[in-house]
Structure formats: C-alpha cells, structure tokens
Structure 1
Amino acid sequence: MKPQLLALTFLALTACFTGVSQTISYPTWGKGMTFTPKDSSGSIHMSARIQNLFILDQGITPTGQDPKIYGMTRRARLKFDGFAFSPKLKYKIELGLSNRDTKFSDDAGLVGGNAKIILDAVVKYQVVKNTTIWFGQTKLPGNRERVISSQKLQFVDRSNVNSKFNIDRDFGFQLHHKFKIGESVLLFKESISLGEGRNMIVNNNGGFDYTGRVEFLPLGAFESKGDYFSSDLKRETTPKLAFGFTADLNQGAIKQGGQLGKILIDTSGNYVNSDLTSYMADMIFKFKGFSSLVEVAYRESSLGDYVDAFGRSFNQGFGYNIQAGYLFKSNYEVAGRYTRVMPLSGMASNISHGEQFTLGLSKYVKGHNLKLQTDLTYDVALTTTFAQDKLIFRLQTEVSF
C-alpha cells in the first residue's frame, strides 16, 4: 500500500471514530489527541511529527571539491497508542512515511517487495506489578541513544557509534521488569526475536536473536522518564544518573549489522550466515540544565575476516561516543560531541576508522515537540586509503502535533 493511501486510511478511520460517543482530549501543543469511549473501555492516542533537514557537506581533503547540498523531509511519522479494555493491555503503532522511511533496499525480497512503512506494531501486557510482556515489532533493548526517539535528540541526529552498532527493531517477545531498592531503580529487559530486522515475511534465516539489558538508576528515577530523552529539559533539581549494559547474540545473521545493512552473499548466490555478538554500555547524567551521555559499543562476527562475493563484510569493531550540553534559561542549548569508531584489528569489517567532532546549538520552543537544531561536524577519516576529511553543516526543524 502506498504511504499516501495508508495515511488517508488512518485519517478516515479517525474521522469515523470522532462520530462515535466519546471523550476527545487535546491538552496542549505537541501532546497529540486522545479519544476515549464514554465507558472508558479503551483509548486511542494519535500524534504526528515531521523533521525537515538541510545538509551542506564540504570535503576538505583533497582540496578543490565542490560542496554537496541536500534538502529533505528526514522523517514523517504517524503514531497511535493507548489501551484496550484494561490499562494493563497497551499497544503502540508507528508508521514512517518519508522517502527515507519507505525506500527500497536489497532486502526487498524478504519484505514482499514492499516499502518498510511499519516501524512499531507491538502489544504490551502487564502480567504482574513489576513485569510486562511485549509481543510484536519494536525497538530491541539496545543502546540508549537508539532507544531514545529520534524526536528527542540533543543533536540533529544520532552519533556514528549508533549508526554502526545499534541493533534497531525486530519482531519477537520481550520481558520488562522494574524494581525499586530504596530510592534506586533497577530494570531488566530480555528479548527473543527473529534477528532479521523489521517487516520480514519470509522464513527465518539462521537462528534467533537474544538480547539482555540491565539498567541501574542509583539516585532515583528521572523526572518524566528523562533517562530516555536527551537534554535536561526538566532541569533536574537533584543529580540523576543511569547506567545501562546490553548484550546481544544474533545467530545466523545475514545482514552486515544483524538487523540492518546489506545482505552478504557467497559466490554460489547463497546467503552467508554469521553469529554476531554485540556489547553496549551507556551512562546518562542530568542536573540543573546540564546533561551528558556516554556510550561504548563492540561487535564481532563468528566468521572473522570473511568477505563475500561483492566485497561486503560484517560490521565488526569498537566505538565510543561522548556528548554533553547545557540548557540555558532562555531554552537555548549548546552541546558538544566526540565520536570514534574503528574496525577490529586484523578482521574484515564494514566499519572504517574515523572520528567526529560536533558542536550543536538548539532552540527549544516547546521542548522536543517544537524546536530548531543545527550542528557542525568535523569528520576525520583515519584510514590511509581514499581518506577524506570533511565539514558537515546541518539545520533541522522538528514539529510534533
């Protein structure tokens, strides 16, 4: 189904729903609209958002290069969530409608030759007070920067570490547990998924993906779940700190990054299967407008230095990202970020050795729901072959309804 037709279908359904006896809530800009039947047997919360992006990419070495200029709707999303019959039974649907969300890739045959419009389609049931089971397609409990919504970032987009090592979305089961130890909070998250990425419809290749994550908040919970949005928009009155660690095993992966990347194919035209093991650790801190995020990631393949018939290899390597920012009372924020990624020594990898220095400036008009962000990145290529340093300027608006 075309994205435009899909969007019109949901809008038509919403229009029909408004004709039924119900309560409609639209509390403030950026919070979406909630429909609740008079008998309170369920709810539908609907929201939408767009990101418009301008990029100026100027190569520095070798000299004399013309700049590359891009302009695009980076993201256009529709979101639906709520509960059905009981607040213990919740759901979430998120659709991606921009060209980048719907473009075809070399795994088109695995998704029925269709654009991968569905981002999230997950049902959540609270089994007991501290445990919730998830079923469907959604983000795996991976690195914090990836799980944080692209709407709620400190910079125009996520870091290069996330780009190379995140485990993205998948279809399967998840268990989420939450415990309080005095003022501290301890969370456990486990997942078993297909390991192929989102919107797959064919027989599962290889094995499954197993993910485990633990999080510890020693100083208590953040205000408004602030450990999962960037920048200290709530201006925490007491220091808040969270640690996270994720381990992931993707058995029989055929894509460079497990759930993401190009498919590896041997000289006979068959898929190449590899077990990918990933480890990720992160820390986020917030206090009185200051915030910082640190992440470290590592991945290795069971095939070592394997290169397929097209010269492709798995994403093996190590990387770290360090960023921090300060939010002034005027709701302007200045932030800096340093990112470095490197392949594993002596192993074939799709990851090139490089580092990035980024300076960002944001103006929050209505938090992350209405903001203007810009950043400037000095991208340093540390390889000796085809090395190219460059400056990247980005300007982006975020509007959430």
Structure 2
Amino acid sequence: MNYRKLTGTVFIFLTTILWSVSVSGQSINNSRFGKGLQFMAADSSFSLKFSTRFQTLYQGVTDPIAEEWDDRFLIRRARLKFEGFVYTPNLEYKIELGLSNNDIGSDLLPQFDFANNIVLDAVAKWHFAPRWELWVGQTKLPGNRERIISSQKMQFVDRSLLNGRFNIDRDAGVQLHHEHRIGEVIFREVASVSTGEGRNIAVNNYGGYDYTAKLEIFPFGEFEGDGAYVGSDVYREETPKLAIAAAFDYNEDAARSRGQLGDFLSEQRDLRTFFADAMFKYRGFSAMAEYANSTAPEGPVVLRTDEGIVEETFVTGSAFNIQGGYLFDTDWEVAARYTTYNPTEETGLRPQEQYTLGVSKYIVGHSLKVQSDITLQDQPGLENIYMYRWQLEIAL
C-alpha cells in the first residue's frame, strides 16, 4: 500500500463515519473547541467522539563537526481519534491513527520496510465490575508516566531522553486495570500480557511474550481533570496532589533493540525494565521525576565485528529525568528539565546529559498552545550540542 493509497483510505474511512452518523438521526451535543465532535445514537446504542490535532515544529541543531546550524520545519504529529461506547456504556473503545511521516515510521522487519504503520491505538475497554476494567487490543503499555502522558499534553516540545531510550511504548494484548481506595488514598494496579514486538506487527510472534505490572498511589486523592497524566498544572490544583508509581516489564526473548521499538536484531534476549516516577502539582507549580533501568541478563551485545566493535546491541542501562515548571496567571509557563542517560558500558553507546529550558503559552489549555525550548546536550569526549525547538499545537 503506497502513501497515496493510504491517504485515500483514511479519507474514505473518515468521510463514511461522519456521513453515516449525520444521516442516521444522530445529534451533535457538547461540542466545543478542544473537545471534538460528539455524537449519540438516537437509541443510545453507541456514542462517537471524533477529534483531530497536529503539531507544526521548527527544530534547529548545532553541528560541531561541520560548524553549521542544521534546521528544518516539519509536521511532528498529525492524528485522528475516535472514541466512545458500543452497546452499553460499560464497553468503551478508542481508535487513534497517526498520519505524519514521524507517526507512521518504517522500522519493521526488512521485508516490511514500506509498510504503512498508521494504527496507534485500537482498543476495547470493558468495565465488567465496579472499579475493574479489561482492555483488549493495541494501546500504550503501563510503563513510565512520561510515555502515558499524551503527546498533546506535554510540558515541553517533546519527551525526554529517558523516554526515548527506555519507554515500552504500545503493544497488542490484554490489560487488567483495578482501582480501590482506603480513605482518601487511591491505589491503581495494572497487569498486562502483550506480544512484545510493538505496534502493527502482522507476522507471527517473533519471540516470547511481554509481561508488565504497575502500581500507582495517590496519597492526597485524585488530580483535577486526570491531571496525573497531564503536563503542567493547567487545572491549578487548589490542594497539593501527588502521584507515585512503580512498574516492571519483562520482555521474554525480545527481538528489537529497545523491546517494542528499534531495529530487529539477529538474536533474541530477555529484557527486564524497571520504572519509578512521581508527579506533584499545586496552584500552578508542577514537578515530575522518573527513573528507568533496563537489563539483559544474558548480555546486551548480539554481534561484534572482527575488530570487536559492537554492531548489534540491545539498549540497556539507566536514566533519570526531573522537570518542573510554574504556570503564571497569564497562562505563560516557564519550565526546566534535567536528564541523564547511562548505557551499559558493554554496549558501546555514549552516555549523555541534557539540560532543557522551556517557555509555553497556553491559549486554550493543551488544545491551542505555543511551546519552545532550548537544550544543551553534553556527551563525554564530544563537543556540546545545542538544540532549539518551537512548536504550535492545535487540537479540535
């Protein structure tokens, strides 16, 4: 399927849905900017919320070798999202499609280099008992907080280096979610079993399965507007709110260099990844810290050249990220972030430190905003690299 064919397919799919809803006696309700178009069937047998968004990005990076400024404009993300319920409000669904080149990607097996990788989420959520949910399909795994936060609702232009190296991303499988309370304290537990190869893999399971478990605690009760998964304190919490979480992921016989992401390697390894994170918000101030550690007990290196240079390796090691910001009454925010990445020495990968300063203007929350940041990247033995980014987000 080429890109033109893909675009036509998506257009026909979207047009068909909107036309069928409009001619079947549906009514539009509660539709306003940032909340999408919302429909309800005349007999209340299903609902549909359709939303779309995109990010226009300018990025410039210093090239210390060529002593040049490399820059570009691009559409960082372009998404279509459909969600609602079918048959009963206890059976929800979500479909999210990515249309930009960065969304689609082409990092599958060599024979599928030109595959169109547009499906981000396609998941059904069954509320089968009070405070219990069973998810079936493809969606984000319960890993680090930064990855679970939507790319629409980030505090900076993009996620940190910790997330780029160790996040477990999306996968196809089943997840069991549970929540209970003791007084005002909220506990959330998640367990999942998935294929381990990441999203949109259409061949037989390449290695073993992936098993993930997560526990999250809210000592002071729930955040406003699900703010534990929103960058910045855009809801301006009236009382202090804190979320603490830990997760463990075991990817049996992983085939890709970063588990659910990266190149397919010539040998498989078990990957074990531990995450810990915390989020705090109060009256415009927000802070988040994350730690990740990934190991391959059999050793991460798969292939070396005759000279002993690492040619194929799994990405293992640890990373720490901390960030914080303050949102003024004018809806301007100043934020800072520090990230350190320490790969396993055997892999031959370079450690890095990044220092980022960001400024954002929230015009309509995270639905219409302008963000910019500047980053200093420090790598031992190399000259420092500076990166500047500016991004406009529009979400209908």
TM-score (ref. length: structure 1): 0.94
Contact 1:108–1:114, Cα closer than 8 Å, also in 2: no
The whole-number CA distance in structure 1 between the counterparts of 2:109 and 2:375 is 31
Match status 1:297 vs 2:292: yes
Match status 1:206 vs 2:220: no
Displacement of 1:227 in angstroms is 0.2
Letter of the structure 1 residue corresponding to residue 22 of structure 2? T
State the match for 2:372 in structure 1.
374
Displacement of 1:103 in angstroms is 3.2
The whole-number CA distance in structure 1 between the counterparts of 2:279 and 2:116 is 35
State the match for 1:306 in structure 2.
301
The whole-number CA distance in structure 2 between the counterparts of 1:245 and 1:142 is 8
Higher-strand-fraction structure: 2
Contact 1:135–1:173, Cα closer than 8 Å, also in 2: yes
Displacement of 1:340 in angstroms is 0.4
Q: How far does the alpha carbon of each residue in 1:37-82 deviate from its partner, in whole angstroms, 9 at most, with x for none? A: 11111101000000000001013x45x6111011100000000000
Letter of the structure 1 residue corresponding to residue 347 of structure 2? A
State the match for 1:42 in structure 2.
46
State the match for 1:99 in structure 2.
101
Contact 2:257–2:265, Cα closer than 8 Å, also in 1: yes
Contact 2:269–2:300, Cα closer than 8 Å, also in 1: no
Match status 1:348 vs 2:347: yes
State the match for 1:15 in structure 2.
19
Letter of the structure 2 residue corresponding to residue 9 of structure 1? I
Q: How far does the alpha carbon of each residue in 1:336-361 deviate from its partner, in whole angstroms, 9 at most, with x for none? A: 0000001124x225x42010000000
Alignment of 1:67-78 (within 5 A): 67-78=69-80
Indicate how the Cα distance of structure 1 residues 354 and 71 shifts in structure 2: closer, same or farther if over 3 A, else same.
Answer: same
Indicate how the Cα distance of structure 1 residues 302 and 248 shifts in structure 2: closer, same or farther if over 3 A, else same.
Answer: same
SS in 2 for 1:104: coil
Displacement of 1:158 in angstroms is 0.2
Displacement of 1:305 in angstroms is 4.6
Contact 2:140–2:148, Cα closer than 8 Å, also in 1: yes
Letter of the structure 1 residue corresponding to residue 7 of structure 2? Q
Aligned residue pairs: how many? 387
Alignment of 1:83-122 (within 5 A): 83-107=85-109, 109=111, 113-122=114-123
Q: How far does the alpha carbon of each residue in 1:269-306 deviate from its partner, in whole angstroms, 9 at most, with x for none? A: xxx11000000000000000000000000001133152
State the match for 1:5 in structure 2.
8
The whole-number CA distance in structure 1 between the counterparts of 2:110 and 2:119 is 14
State the match for 2:308 in structure 1.
none
Letter of the structure 1 residue corresponding to residue 125 of structure 2? K
Letter of the structure 2 residue corresponding to residue 276 of structure 1? L
The whole-number CA distance in structure 2 between the counterparts of 1:391 and 1:258 is 29
The whole-number CA distance in structure 2 between the counterparts of 1:127 and 1:221 is 22
Query: Which shows bigger deviation, 4-13 or 277-286?
Result: 4-13
The whole-number CA distance in structure 1 between the counterparts of 2:123 and 2:108 is 25
Q: Find runs of 4+ consecutive structure 1 residues off by over 4 angstroms.
A: none
State the match for 1:400 in structure 2.
395
Aligned mate of 1:24, from 10, 13, 28: 28
Query: Please, which runs of 5 or more residues in structure 1 have no aligned partner?
Result: 266-271
Letter of the structure 2 residue corresponding to residue 299 of structure 1? S
SS in 2 for 1:200: coil
SS in 1 for 2:68: coil
Contact 2:106–2:113, Cα closer than 8 Å, also in 1: no
The whole-number CA distance in structure 2 between the counterparts of 1:108 and 1:216 is 42
Letter of the structure 2 residue corresponding to residue 205 of structure 1? Y
Contact 1:304–1:348, Cα closer than 8 Å, also in 2: no
The whole-number CA distance in structure 1 between the counterparts of 2:195 and 2:304 is 25
Letter of the structure 1 residue corresponding to residue 77 of structure 2? R
Query: Which shows bigger deviation, 273-282 or 96-105?
Result: 96-105
Match status 1:333 vs 2:328: no
SS in 2 for 1:315: coil
Aligned mate of 1:365, from 360, 363, 366: 363
State the match for 2:62 in structure 1.
58
Displacement of 1:108 in angstroms is 5.0
Query: Please, which runs of 5 or more residues in structure 2 have no aligned partner?
Result: 306-310
SS in 1 for 2:226: helix
Query: Which shows bigger deviation, 4-13 or 364-373?
Result: 4-13
Letter of the structure 2 residue corresponding to residue 3 of structure 1? L
State the match for 1:269 in structure 2.
none
SS in 2 for 1:101: helix
Contact 1:196–1:205, Cα closer than 8 Å, also in 2: yes
The whole-number CA distance in structure 2 between the counterparts of 1:136 and 1:113 is 23
Query: Which shows bigger deviation, 24-33 or 179-188?
Result: 24-33
Query: Taking every aligned residue pair, what percent have the same amino acid on both sides?
Result: 44
Contact 1:3–1:97, Cα closer than 8 Å, also in 2: no
The whole-number CA distance in structure 2 between the counterparts of 1:396 and 1:169 is 24
CA RMSD of aligned residues (A): 1.4
SS in 2 for 1:151: helix
The whole-number CA distance in structure 2 between the counterparts of 1:275 and 1:103 is 25
State the match for 2:183 in structure 1.
182
Displacement of 1:23 in angstroms is 1.6
The whole-number CA distance in structure 2 between the counterparts of 1:195 and 1:154 is 29
The whole-number CA distance in structure 1 between the counterparts of 2:30 and 2:67 is 50
Alignment of 1:124-203 (within 5 A): 124-203=125-204
SS in 2 for 1:264: strand
TM-score (ref. length: structure 2): 0.95
The whole-number CA distance in structure 2 between the counterparts of 1:314 and 1:248 is 15
